[in-house]
């Protein structure tokens, strides 16, 4: 699958699915999440920050699979643990999804994640 096709699929959806490996079970775990797409990368914001289970799983196993519509892309997640970088991503989430929904669903803003699209 071409990167361009996947990026076009991202433009058509407001929610993607991610699959991560459980840090204790080792099993694949898939769940829907919001995202921000920028050329060549996805930015993800864990709902409960560093306490979010999928984020904690990525700390142990950085491999992540992302699905947009029926297309998939795999890569290594880059964990962002600085407040400035996470605030920038949270601001983008607020612009995309609305500040009210950001405040309603997200409670902690201490970490974020970038996934390069290759």
Looking at the 3D structure of the chain, how many domains does it have?
1
Residue 62 is part of a domain; what is its CATH number?
Answer: 2.30.110.10
12 burial type by CB count under 10 A (0-12 exposed, 13-18 middle, 19+ buried): exposed
Going residue by residue through the chain, which has 118 residues, state the pLDDT in tens, using 9 for 90 and above: 578 899 999 999 999 999 999 999 999 999 999 999 998 999 999 999 999 999 999 999 999 999 999 999 999 999 999 999 999 999 999 999 999 999 999 999 999 999 999 8
Beta strand spans in 2-90 (E): 16-21, 28-33, 36-38, 41-44, 63-68, 71-76, 78-80
pLDDT, residue 27, reads: 97
pLDDT, residue 118, reads: 80
pLDDT, residue 2, reads: 79
pLDDT, residue 51, reads: 97
pLDDT, residue 50, reads: 97
**Comparing C-alpha atoms, which of 67, 79, 72 is closest to residue 35?**
67
Whole-angstrom distance between the N-terminal and C-terminal Cα of the chain? 10
Range of the domain at 21: 3-116
pLDDT, residue 103, reads: 94
């Amino acid at each position: 699958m071409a990167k361009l096709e996947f990026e076009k699929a991202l433009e058509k959806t407001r929610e993607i699915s991610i699959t991560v490996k459980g840090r204790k079970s080792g099993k694949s775990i898939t769940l829907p999440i919001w995202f921000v797409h920028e050329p060549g990368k996805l930015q993800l914001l864990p709902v409960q920050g560093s306490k979010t289970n999928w984020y904690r799983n990525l700390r142990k196993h950085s491999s992540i699979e992302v699905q947009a519509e029926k297309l998939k892309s795999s890569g290594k997640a880059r964990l962002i643990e600085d407040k400035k970088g996470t605030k920038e991503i949270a601001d983008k989430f607020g612009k995309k999804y609305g500040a009210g929904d950001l405040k309603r669903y997200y409670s902690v803003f201490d970490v974020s994640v970038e996934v390069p699209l290759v």
